[in-house]
Structure 1
Amino acid sequence: MFFGKKKPKDSQESASGETPASIQPNPAKADPWFRHADNAKDSLQNAYALKLFASGLSFDNTRLDLVESILSCAILHRDQGGKSAPSSEKKEIEGMGPYGKFASAYYAWLRDLGNIKVALEFMRQALAFDSMAWANHHANTIFKMHLSGKTSKKGWVELMRLCGEANNWDLAQQAGAKARELDPSDGDLDTEMKNLAASRAMTEGGYTEAAGNEGGFRKMIKDADKQKELQEEETLAGGAETAAAPLERARQAYEADPADTNAVAKLLQLLRRVGDS
C-alpha cells in the first residue's frame, strides 16, 4: 500500500454489509454454480457460463484453479462477437454473495475483454474484496492491454497504483515509468514512485537490511532516483528544454569535484548531446 493512499470507497463493506475482514468463502454455496457453469461451457453457452462462474465467485473467491477455464470461455465469447454484460445481470451478481462486487466487476470484464476501463475496475474491486490473487493473475494481461491501446498518463498512474496495492512491484514500476515518459516534470509522480520503492523494500524485508548497510530500503530509493535520472537523460534528444535537469546535475557534480574524471566525462557527454540536438 502506498503511504497515505486511501483505500477504495467500496473496500469498506461488501454487498451483504459485512467488512472484507469478516467475510469468509462459502464453497457449499459456490460449488453448485461452478458445476452448472461447466455444463453451460460444454454446451457452448459462453455468456451464460460466465454468469454462472461469476455467481459462484460471489460466494467463494478462492477458486483460482478455475481461471483458465473461465478465461477460455471469455475468449470464445469475445471471438464470437459476444456482447457486454447487461447492467441487470451485473447488479444481480453484485447482490448475491459477500464477494459480489468483485464477482460482478470480473463478470463485466470477462464479457468485454478489450475494455481497459472495465479491466481496471475489476482490479479495483478484486483488491477491495480480498481477491488480490485474481488481480495479480490478470495484471500482466491488463498491462499489455494498456500498452497496446491509446495511452495516457492518468491511465498509467492508475495502473501503477493498482499494481502497487497488489504488491506486483515490477509491473507497478513499469507503469510508473510509462507515466513519467509522458510527463517527466511531474514532481508528485516522482514522490509516488519513491513511495512505491519504499513500500516494496519494506514488504520484501529491505527496510531491516537498510538499517545496517546500503542495501534494501535505501538502495531501492536510490534506484528510483537513478531510474529518473536515466529517463531524463534519454530525453536529451528532444532538445535543450528537456536536457536541463540532467545537465544541471552533471554540472554540479563537476563543480563539486573538478578532479573527478567520471564527472568530467559525464558533463562532456551531456554537453555534446545538447550540441547535437
Structure 2
Amino acid sequence: MALFGKKKETDQADDAASTEDAGRIATESNGDEKGLYKADAAKAARFFEHARTVHETGNHEYAMTLWLQGLRQDPTSFTGLEQFWQSALEFRRTMRKPGPTRDQSRSFDGKGPVERFLVALLNWGTRPGDTSAGVKAVETSVKLGLAESAYWIGDRVLGASLNDRKPKKDHYVRLKDLFSEIQAFDLAVKAGNLALNVDPTDSPLEAELRNLSAQAAMTKGGYEETGQEGGFRKNIRDADTQRRIQDESSLAKGEDAATRLLSAAKEDYDSRPTDNKTIAAYARRLLETNNPEHEKLAYQVLIKGYEDTKEFRFRQQAGDVKLRRARRKLRQLRDAAAEKPDDEKLQATLKDAERKFIEMEIEELTLCVDAYPTDLSFKYQLGRRHFLLGQYEKAIEFFQEAQNDAKSRVQVLNYLGQSFLALGWHTEAVESLRSGIKNHPSEKDDLGLELRYGLMRALEAKARAERDTNDAEEAMRLASGIAMQQISFRDIRERRDELRQLVQELKTASG
C-alpha cells in the first residue's frame, strides 16, 4: 500500500499538560492543505493526557469524549484516533445499548467539517457493527484530508461489514470511491469485490475493478507514474526520497521501514543538529520505536536542541519524555501495590512515589508558566498539582488567575471552592461554587454533580460552624436533589441523612 498515505473520582494526577503523543514533536504545520482546520498539537496533548488517565481508571465513556476533544484540536493525531478506539472497545463491553450516551453527544455539535468528523467517529465507535456509521467516519476523514485515518478506519469497517446479514451494495461502492480518492487502491479493490458479491451482474463495476487491481499492483510495487496529476508521489524523482515517503505513509510501519526512517532522521540531524525541524523529526522517530534507550536519547536530543536554539518547546517536550518515563514506573509500582494491599512498606513507597511524581510535574509546569505567562491553562494545571499536595493557598493563587480562561472557568471555580473549603474559608467556598454552577450549562452532567456536591459540603461546613439553619436546609435540598438524580453518587445517602439530623438539631436548638 503506497498511501500518504462521566467522570469518576480518578487518581488525581490527571489532566496533565504533558503528552505521551510523540507525534506532536514533529508537528510543524499550522493546518491542513484544505484550510479546514488548524492543528494545535500542544492543546490536543493536554486532552490526550487527561484521556489516558481517565481510561486507566475505567471511565471509558468519558475517556472517549476526551480523546475526541483532543482530536478537535489536532485531527491529524493518529495516536488520538487509535486510543479513542481502545477506549471505545472497553466501553462497548459495558454499554447497555449501541450508540453514544447523552453526555457524549452533548459535547459535539456537528457544525463544521471537524465537528462532523468527531460526531462520525463517536457514532462509529459506539456502533462498530453499523456499516453506514463506518462509511460516514471514512467519508468525513477523507473530506478533511486525513488519508491515513481514513485508511485505518476503512479497513476496520470492511472487516466488520462481513458480519452484515443484509450487506448493502451502496455502502461498498461508496467505500470504493473514497478509497480511490485517497489512492488506497488495495482497499478500493476489496470494497469493490464486496459490492460485486452483492450484485454479480454489475459489469461496469467489474471492469472498473480490473483497472483498480492494476493500479493497486503498480502502487504496491512502487511504479506509480511520476508526474500524474493527483498522484501520491507526483514529481518525486529521487528513489530514496520516494521510499521514505512511502514508509511514512504506510499504516503498518514494518520494522525495516521504521529503521530506515530513524536512520534517515539521524542522518538529517547529524548534518543539521541545530535545525528546528531536524531536531523535532529525530526526536519523534526515536520515541516512535518505544525503545527505552531511544527514549533516553530523545530526551538528550531535545535538551541539546533547547540549549542550542533556545526554543522552549524542546525543553517542554524533554520534560514530557521525563514525565512519561516516571509515569510508567509509577504505574508499575501501583500494580505491585495493588497485588499486595497488606504490605505497609510497599504502600508507603507508593504514596511517596506519587507525591514525588506530582512534585516533578510541578517543576515542569512551573517552567511552562514562566515561558508562556499568558497561557492560563498551564496555571490551571499547576494549581491542580498544588491542590493535590494539599498546598491550598498556593493553589488558590493560580486558580484565581486561571479562572479568567473561559474554556476552563467552571473547572477552576470547582477547585477554587474546594481549596477555600479545605482552608475553612466557608463563605469564599460557597461563593466560588455558586459561581461555578451559574456558569455551567447543566446541573445534571458529571461536572454539574461535582459542583452541587461541593456546594452542599461547603454549606454544611458553614452551617455547622455558624449554627445557621438556612445553610443547613439548603445543603439538605442539594443532597436530596443529587440523591434523586443519582443515588449511588459518592456518599450522598449518608450525607443526606446527616444533613437531615443537622437541620433538626439546629431547629431544636433555636427553639
TM-score by length of 1: 0.59
Matched residue pairs, number? 193
- Which residue is 2:124 aligned to? 109
Equivalent residue runs for 1:73-112 within 5 Å: 73-83=87-97, 84-86=99-101, 89-90=104-105, 92-94=107-109, 99-112=114-127
Deviates more, 1:93-102 or 1:77-86: 93-102
| Aligned with 1:170 (options 162, 180, 186) | 186
1:58–1:98 Cα contact (<8 Å) kept: no
The 3 A distance-change label for structure 1 pair 201 and 144 is closer
The 3 A distance-change label for structure 1 pair 22 and 172 is closer
- SS of 1:58 mapped into structure 2: helix
Question: Which runs of no fewer than 5 residues in structure 1 stay unpaired?
Answer: 1-17, 210-277
| Aligned with 2:138 (options 103, 120, 123) | 123
**Larger RCO (CA under 8 A, 6+ residues apart):** 1
2:62 pairs with 1:48: yes
2:87 pairs with 1:63: no
Residue type of the alignment partner of 2:108: I
Deviation of 1:127 after TM superposition, in Å, equals 0.6
Question: Which runs of no fewer than 5 residues in structure 2 stay unpaired?
Answer: 1-31, 228-511
Alpha-carbon separation, structure 2, partners of 1:143 and 1:125: 16
2:40 pairs with 1:26: yes
Residue type of the alignment partner of 1:59: Q
- Which residue is 1:161 aligned to? 177
After superposition, what is the alpha-carbon deviation per residue over 1:148-195, rounded to whole angstroms, capped at 9, x for unaligned?
A: 212222222122222222322112112212222332332442454356
Alpha-carbon separation, structure 2, partners of 1:109 and 1:152: 17
How large is the RMSD of aligned CA atoms in angstroms? Answer: 3.2
Residue type of the alignment partner of 1:172: A
The 3 A distance-change label for structure 1 pair 53 and 97 is farther
Residue type of the alignment partner of 1:120: V
The 3 A distance-change label for structure 1 pair 141 and 165 is same
Alpha-carbon separation, structure 2, partners of 1:135 and 1:32: 24
1:59–1:100 Cα contact (<8 Å) kept: no
Alpha-carbon separation, structure 2, partners of 1:128 and 1:106: 14
Deviates more, 1:90-99 or 1:53-62: 90-99
Alpha-carbon separation, structure 2, partners of 1:109 and 1:33: 21
2:68–2:118 Cα contact (<8 Å) kept: yes
Deviation of 1:207 after TM superposition, in Å, equals 4.3
After superposition, what is the alpha-carbon deviation per residue over 1:20-77, rounded to whole angstroms, capped at 9, x for unaligned?
A: 3353311232222212211211221111110111011011022212444322211111
- SS of 2:176 mapped into structure 1: helix
Alpha-carbon separation, structure 2, partners of 1:22 and 1:30: 17
Residue type of the alignment partner of 1:178: L
Residue type of the alignment partner of 1:170: D
Deviates more, 1:121-130 or 1:151-160: 151-160
The 3 A distance-change label for structure 1 pair 89 and 46 is closer
Residue type of the alignment partner of 1:126: S
The 3 A distance-change label for structure 1 pair 34 and 175 is same
The 3 A distance-change label for structure 1 pair 188 and 90 is farther
Residue type of the alignment partner of 2:156: T
Alpha-carbon separation, structure 2, partners of 1:47 and 1:138: 20
Deviation of 1:89 after TM superposition, in Å, equals 4.3
Residue type of the alignment partner of 2:182: A
- SS of 2:158 mapped into structure 1: helix
Larger radius of gyration: 2
- SS of 1:130 mapped into structure 2: coil
1:74–1:113 Cα contact (<8 Å) kept: no
Identity %: 26
The 3 A distance-change label for structure 1 pair 33 and 95 is farther
After superposition, what is the alpha-carbon deviation per residue over 1:106-153, rounded to whole angstroms, capped at 9, x for unaligned?
A: 122112222211111111001111222111122222111111212222
Alpha-carbon separation, structure 1, partners of 2:224 and 2:34: 29
TM-score by length of 2: 0.34
The 3 A distance-change label for structure 1 pair 21 and 119 is same
